[in-house]
Amino acid sequence: MARHEVTLDWVGGQTRMIDVDEDETVLAAAQRAGAPLPLPYGCRTGACGTCVGRLLSIEGSEAAGDDGRTAESIDVADAFAYRREPRALKPRHRDDGYVLLCIARPRANSRVAVGSRVQSELVDNPWK
């Protein structure tokens, strides 16, 4: 069974590399590894978007730009496969590099921005 290294990069905070089996979700691996900060999640079915991350780079690809956005040449499908359709993401969100970590299984070593700031990029938080 193949394993991939996924580096979780909390915006403005910690970084943690975890090993993820190819049939395991990033969320499950982070929980197994005891990530320094918990990854938020809600539904575990790809319906709510609480667990969203933003792909920064794939091993061998160009690094993300200065604003932390995924380089246009990076395709999320090169880094992750989904267990089911990510209903919380529209095609434009996927094109912008967003990935739902509760249902995403790695296909390559990658680096992903995570945390509440990434979630607020995707949806407005009514509790601000």
Sign of CA dihedral 33, 39, 40, 44: negative
CB burial class (10 A; 0-12, 13-18, 19+) of residue 101?
Answer: buried
The larger pLDDT score, comparing residue 37 to residue 99, is at: 99
Residues 6+ apart with CB under 8 A from 117: 11, 12
The whole-angstrom separation of Cα 27 and Cα 60 is: 23
pLDDT, tens only, 43-82:
999 999 999 999 999 987 755 554 555 555 688 999 999 9
Confidence at residue 100, expressed as pLDDT on a 0 to 100 scale:
97
Confidence at residue 8, expressed as pLDDT on a 0 to 100 scale:
95
Confidence at residue 6, expressed as pLDDT on a 0 to 100 scale:
97
Confidence at residue 86, expressed as pLDDT on a 0 to 100 scale:
93
Confidence at residue 7, expressed as pLDDT on a 0 to 100 scale:
96
Tell me the average pLDDT across 91-98.
93
Confidence at residue 66, expressed as pLDDT on a 0 to 100 scale:
47
DSSP states of the chain: --EEEEEEEETTS-EEEEEEETTS-HHHHHHHHT-SSPPP-S-SSSSS-TTEEEEEEETTSPPP-TTSPPPTT--HHHHEEESS--TT--HHHHHTTEEETTTEEESS-EEEEESHHHHHHHS--TT-
The whole-angstrom separation of Cα 40 and Cα 53 is: 10
pTM: 0.85
pLDDT, tens only, 102-128:
999 999 999 999 988 898 888 776 665
